[in-house]
Each structure stands twice: as structure tokens, then as C-alpha cells.
Amino acid sequence: MKLDDGQQQKVREWIEGGLTLSEIQNKLSTELNLRLTYMEVRFLVDDLGGKLKDKPRETTPADLKAPALPPAQGQPPQAPAPAALPDEEGRTGGGVSVTVDQVTRPGALVSGKVTFSDGKGADWYLDQMGRLGVVPKDKDYKPSQEDVMEFQVELQNELARHGF
């Protein structure tokens, strides 16, 4: 598309005024009745030798937080352990332990064993789709909700230690 000298001058003024490509595209449409695609506007700005100015980015409170320090050399990051809360009988958690198998279960990406706070055990595995499976040793066993939540955290920590 060819613009006359007056239209080209107007676009140059918009560029110098610090407008973005989309703002220039909107002005071309509303003020000059020219409907151009974003890419056509990009080419037009290039053809006119214009340099778009970066607008200063607004700082948010999240930007002001100190950056997280990288993990120490050779150590994977660790998720914080949950606080142990007493149950109805006054016992505190912390009884869930997770291990990773040295030889992975067939069809799994990674597998291992878990022992819940009541001493009951189960096998666990992650398949190729990232789905978690838990197979209790006792078919009718269902761990408490607290044990399940602790298992998830312990599993995440254990997998991180193994580089997953």
C-alpha cells in the first residue's frame, strides 16, 4: 500500500510520539480510513525508517521481591515440608515415608513404595502420561486425607532428590 507524503508524515509523528504498532494500526484505521494488518503496519514502519520506542514497564510489587537464589551446586530445589498437625488422638504426622525403586516397575516412568503413618504400605508409580497410581498392599486400605497430602509432599521431595 502506498501512502502519500502527508500520510507518511503523520505515521512518522505517531512513531516519534512513542505509539505502539497496534496503536498506529488503530490510528491508521480511524484517522486515515486505512485498514492494514499488524504485519503490514510493521513493514510500513520499517519502510519509513521508524524506530519504535520501548515504553517503560510498570513495576509491580512482585517485581520488587528479591530473586530466588539458585540451588547449591548439585542439589535439587526442595519443597518445604508441611507442618505436622495433631490428629483426633493427639498424634502428630510425619509418619509417611516414600522411597524410589532402583528398578522401575514395568510401564512406569518411576515407581517406589510408601509407608503411611499407621504402618500400612503401598506401591506407587508415575506412568508416561504423568499419572500417579497407588496400589495398597491391602486391597481395602484407604489412607487418611492427611496421609495422602503428606505423601504428595514427600513424593515431590523424593523425586526432586532423584532429579525428577
Q: Could you report the per-residue pLDDT of 33-66, keeping only the tens digit for each? A: 888 888 888 888 888 887 776 666 565 665 555 5
132 within some domain: yes
Going by their DSSP bridges, the two strands 121-127 and 132-136 should be labelled as antiparallel
64-82 pLDDT, tens digit each:
555 554 555 554 555 444 4
Answer yes or no: is 79 within a domain. Answer: no
Residue 69 lies in a domain: no
Rounded Cα distance between 128 and 64, Å, is 39
Residue 55 is assigned to a structural domain of this protein: no
pTM of the model: 0.44
User: Residue 36: left (phi > 0), alpha (psi -120 to 50), or beta?
Assistant: beta
The grid coordinates of residue 152 equal 504428595
Residue 147 lies in a domain: yes
Q: What pLDDT score does 83 carry?
A: 44
pLDDT at 1 over 80: no
- Domain assignment of residue 43, yes or no: yes
Burial call 116-137: b when 16+ CB within 10 Å, e when fewer:
bbeeeebbbbbeeeeeeeeebe
Domain of residue 146: give its range.
97-161
pLDDT of the residue at 90: 44
Number of domains into which the chain is organized: 2
Amino acid at 117: S
